[in-house]
Amino acid sequence: MPTTADCSRSPEVDAYLAGQPPKTRHALEELRALIRQAAPGASERMNYRIPAFALVPGGKRDAQIMIAGYAGHVGFYPSPGVVEAFAGRLAGYKHSKGAIQFPLNRPIPAELVLEMVQFRLSQLKR
């Protein structure tokens, strides 16, 4: 069974976060911590020039959750299936087929993020 130590911090992800404005960096760090909490075996990397978390060993794009920082929000990219499954709970957030925007002027919905990551992880382990 993976342990929290299995999800080492990526220097490239650290650099990406360090280059963000303070509010954006704080929100991204919170998302990072929530992903690591829900999927302790995930490995960090950069993909498409944004932080990605491979939820299974060697996980390519379809087995990753990604995050990104923007001027007024952070992007959370859990997969189209996750967005569809949680659509009823995302009514207060701008979202599309595979992306959710969490505005910087509101708290990150921690429980919702944890549930979405755990849901995606369970999909991949089937």
7: confidence class by pLDDT, cuts 50, 70, 90: low
Residue 30, Cα to own-chain centre: how many angstroms?
9
Torsion (CA) 101, 82, 116, 74 in degrees, nearest 10 = -20
Domain 4-124 has CATH 3.90.1150.200: yes
- pTM, two decimal places: 0.90
**Helix (DSSP H) and strand (DSSP E) numbers for the chain:** 4, 5
Encoding tokens for residue 30?
A: 């919170």
16: pLDDT strictly greater than 60: yes
pLDDT tens figures, 57-81: 777 777 899 999 999 999 999 999 9
Cβ neighbours around 84 below 10 Å, total: 11
pLDDT for the residue 5: 40
For the chain, domain boundaries: 4-124
Q: Helices marked H in 1-126 — which ranges? A: 11-18, 22-38, 80-85, 110-124
Interval 105-121 mean pLDDT: 97
